[in-house]
Structure 1
Amino acid sequence: MKRKILFLLLVVMTFLSGCWDSNEPERMLYINGIGVDFKDGKYELYAQIIDFTNIAKTEQPSSDQPQMEVGHATGNTVDEAIFNLYHSIDQKVFWGHMSHLVVSEEVMKNVELNPIIDLFIRYRETRYQIWVYTTKDPVDEILLVRPVINRAITLSKLGDPENSYKQESLIDPISIRQLIIDMNEPPHEVKLPLIRIDENWQSIKESIKAPVIAGVGVATPNGFKGFIEGDNARGIQWMSNETARGQITFKTDDDHGITVNVEKVKVDIQPVVRKEEVLFDVNVELEATISVIEGAITVDEIRTGVIDKVKKEIKTTYEEALKKDIDVYRLSERVYRKDLKAWDRSHKDGKLDLHEDSIRKLDVKLARLDATRKSFKETIEQ
């Protein structure tokens, strides 16, 4: 009897020992980034495929082999372009490692983001933690940029933005998950980090291109509202509780330069409801460390300079956004969450009608100011 049972178990095990539907890793290609452009009424798809055999064992890949290659295809929809790309791909493609999506200015201006985002979140292999960007530069050039000193492409600024964001928090990185939330909640606008390419690094062999955060592009479920770029976008970092580190530089009355590193930001926005309109009281609390001092200056002068500069940048960004009908600080959402009756009475198509005086009070407070060397004087005295 025992022999019969053992024989049956051996027979059953022969059917369970194989993984018939498994995919061999070496016979698959891995998508790391996708770029989408729109030209002549068709979608232009760029797929960045990476070689894990070169980067899986080390963060410093071999310089003899390319880390990635970029494929290109067109279609009437993004999905059709993907299937057209499959025609020229040698192996099965795995999408589970896709880390970022870059959409061009033409996509932002001419088509809606919703069908593009919808495609990726409905596919079972992709994740909601895909970072989304926009650019005015050629999308394929963005995907061909490699990290400085040839670090692993999976650790690039686009694929791993949170790492560099902790050191310089100009624009919050945004994932597909957060994009959907911002689109669905008032004011139904999303700020995508604007990427440009700068050739500002140099090696012994060549100059190196690098992606630079240049501002934001603002999209809605129905279209595109415009870009806020350069210094006009600097106020965004002072109105975000996610800001980990920023920098303020200003000139004294004697034309000396002072640089202060802001290391913590706490923002509180309180809606003030009136019968005919809603205003806002904004309180921003900062903690900072002095970095550079030129000339003799008092603590009070530094404090005043920082506060004035932060206020100016917040107002500049707000006023630039108003020109494009953008609720850049998501003030509408504050009313929606705190006073639904006022929201129902005041909003139009899911957004408040903001104006220059909608921010009734802007109070910036420097809660802590440190000099790491315990001195507010120049290191070398003249």
Structure 2
Amino acid sequence: MKNKRFFLLLFLTLLLTGCWDSKEPERMLYVNALGVDFKDEQYEVYAQIISFANVAKTELPTTDQPQAEVGYSKGKSLNEAVINLYHSMDQTVFWGHFSYVVISEEAMNNMKFSPVIDSLVRYRETRYQIWVYVTKDSVQDVLLVRPVLNRAITLSNLNDPEAGYSQESYIKPMNFREVIIDMDEPGHEALIPLISIEGNWKSNKEMIDAPVLSGVGVVTPNGFKGYIEGDKARGLQWMTNDTERGQVTFKTNDDSYTTTIIEKMKVNIQPIVESSTIRFDVAVDMEVTLDVVEGKVTADDVEKGVKKEVENQIKATFEEAIKMDVDVYRFSEQLYRKNVNAWKKHQKDGKIELNEDSIRNLTVHISQLKSDRKSFKETIEKE
């Protein structure tokens, strides 16, 4: 009887599938980033493959081997280009760790942004949390940039943009989910972070290139509208509650410059219906910290200086966007949510018409001003 039970148990174990179809991690290649270009009526794809041997259990690489290598292929569609890339792959490719995509200016101008998003989010291994960037530089060069101090490539500012955004909220990071929402909501435009490559770091051996946030690219479901760059994009950080920390530098009465830190933003946008036109009252509330005091400066000087500079930056960004027919502060969505009947009456393709006078009132209020000390005097006084 015991022998029968034993043989029955042995027979049943043969029916168990176990892990016969599993793939060993060391026998797979992992895509961390993708670069997409478009030339001569073909997609050009650059895939950044990373080695997790230099990532696991440490923040610093453990060997002198490259952390990443970039493969290249092209095709008449994005999927064809990716499949052609598989022809030169040594192992099975896993997309579950795919972190970000960089899209070239040529691809944007040829209206290839939406097809790229659509292709990538439909694949079962990818997610909606993939970060997205646009660049005027070579997408291959962007993917080949290594982090400063040769830290693990998964800790770069392109893989983890929220870390840098928490210290200086210049350009808000965007992932697939947020881009899709912005293009679906009135006025159907999304602001994609613009990346430039600059050699602004140096070691004792070489210059080190780094990806730098230099503005935003404006994309719609129907095409690409262009860029808002440099200081012209500064107003964006003062018109969103997502801003965690920013800086404002202004000139004082004695011709010296003072830099303040801005925190805890609160923005209120109120649409005002005026017969045949729509205008907006904008109220910006913030906390200001003065870390460095140079020359003679009072609390009133700081408040006036910050308010004037923030107002100027908000207006400069808005005026630059108006030239491009861009609703950069999403006023159309504000009207849609707060007065849908007025929106239905004045909208065209989801957007309302804006001009330089569309901001009726702009008020900047400093709810708290602190210096981290008891006075605004210089630490070391001049004799």
TM-score of the two chains, using structure 1 as the length reference: 0.98
CA deviations 1:26-79 (Å, max 9, x no partner) are 110000000001111111100000001222221101351100000011111111
Gaps of 5+ in 2: none
Percent pairwise identity: 60
In the TM superposition, residue 374 of structure 1 has moved relative to its aligned partner by 2.2
Residues 1:167 and 2:167 are matched in the alignment: yes
Q: Cα offset for 1:362?
A: 0.5
* Local SS of the residue matching 1:293: coil
**How far off its partner does 1:111 sit?**
2.0
Question: Within the alignment, does 1:205 sit opposite 2:239 as a pair?
Answer: no
Aligned to 2:187: 187
Aligned to 1:257: 257
CA distance in 1, matches of 2:380, 2:62: 45
Q: Does 1:134 align with 2:134?
A: yes
**Conservation of the 8 A alpha-carbon contact between 1:191 and 1:218:** yes
Question: What residue in structure 1 maps to residue 27 of structure 2?
Answer: 27
1:71 pairs with 2:79: no
* C-alpha distance in 1 between matches for 2:338 and 2:124: 36
Give the distance between the partners of 1:112 and 1:219, measured in 2 at CA.
Answer: 11
8 Å Cα contact 1:30/1:49 also seen in 2: yes
- The equivalent of 2:292 in structure 1 is 292
Length-normalised TM-score, structure 2: 0.98
Residue-by-residue CA offset, 1:215-246 (whole Å, 9 max, x unaligned): 00000001011100000000000001110010
What is residue 222 of structure 2 aligned with on the other side?
A: 222
Where in structure 1 are there 5+ consecutive unaligned residues?
Answer: none
2: distance between equivalents of 1:241 and 1:368?
Answer: 17
Indicate the residue corresponding to 1:80 in structure 2: 80
1:273/1:3 CA distance change after superposition, 3 Å: farther
* Matching of residues 273-312 of structure 1 within 5 Å: 273-312=273-312
Determine the C-alpha separation between the residues in 2 that align with 1:274 and 1:341: 14
Matched residue, 1:348: 348
What does residue 61 of structure 1 align with?
61
For residue 218 of structure 1, what is the amino acid of its counterpart? V
Contact conserved, 2:235 with 2:317, CA < 8 A, in 1?
yes
1:3 CA drift (Å): 4.7
Partner of 2:89: 89
Give the structure 2 partner of residue 248 of structure 1: 248
Of 246-255 and 10-19, more deviation after overlay is shown by 10-19
Residue of structure 1 in register with 2:326 after alignment: 326
- Structure 2 match to 1:48: 48
Post-superposition offset of 1:112: 3.3
Which residue number in structure 2 is paired with residue 157 of structure 1? 157
Amino acid at match of 2:262: V
Residue identity matched to 2:45: L
1 CA distance for matches of 2:125 and 2:173? 22
Quick one: which amino acid aligns to residue 347 of structure 1? Answer: Q
Q: Return the alpha-carbon distance in structure 2 between the equivalents of residues 54 and 162 of structure 1.
A: 22
Deviation at 1:15, TM superposition (A): 3.1
Q: Which residue of 2 aligns with 1:336?
A: 336
Give the residue type in structure 2 aligned to 1:359. Answer: I
Map Cα deviations across residues 72-119 of structure 1 (whole Å, 9 max, x no partner).
111111111001111111111000000000001111111231111011
Q: Deviations over 1:281-325 (max 9, x none)?
A: 100001111022211111011101000000000000000000000
Q: Provide, for residues 152-186 of structure 1, a one-character-per-residue CA deviation record: whole Å limited to 9, x for no partner.
A: 11111001111111011001000001011001001
**Contact 1:112–1:222 under 8 Å retained in 2:** no
CA–CA distance in structure 1, aligned partners of residues 37 and 45 of structure 2 = 6
Secondary structure of the structure 1 residue equivalent to 2:291: strand
Tell whether the 8 Å contact from 1:33 to 1:100 is kept in structure 2 after alignment: yes
Number of aligned residues: 382
2-side partners of 1:5 and 1:132: how far apart?
Answer: 60
Single out whichever of 1-10 and 67-76 deviates more from structure 2. Answer: 1-10
Matched with 2:107 is: 107
Tell me if the contact between 1:201 and 1:209 (Cα under 8 Å) persists in the aligned partners.
yes
Counterpart Cα distance in 1 of 2:13 and 2:269: 65
Checking the alignment, whether the CA contact within 8 Å between 1:63 and 1:150 is kept in structure 2 is no
- Residues 112 and 221, structure 1, Cα contact 8 Å, conserved in 2: no
Which whole-Å CA distance do the structure 2 matches of 1:2 and 1:115 have between them?
Answer: 64
CA distance in 2, matches of 1:290, 1:115: 47
Inter-CA distance 63–257: structure 2 relative to 1 (3 Å threshold): farther
| 2:232 alignment partner AA | N
Please tell me the residue identity of whatever aligns with 2:263: E
Shift of 1:251: 0.5
- Distance in 2 between the 1:206 and 1:65 partners? 18
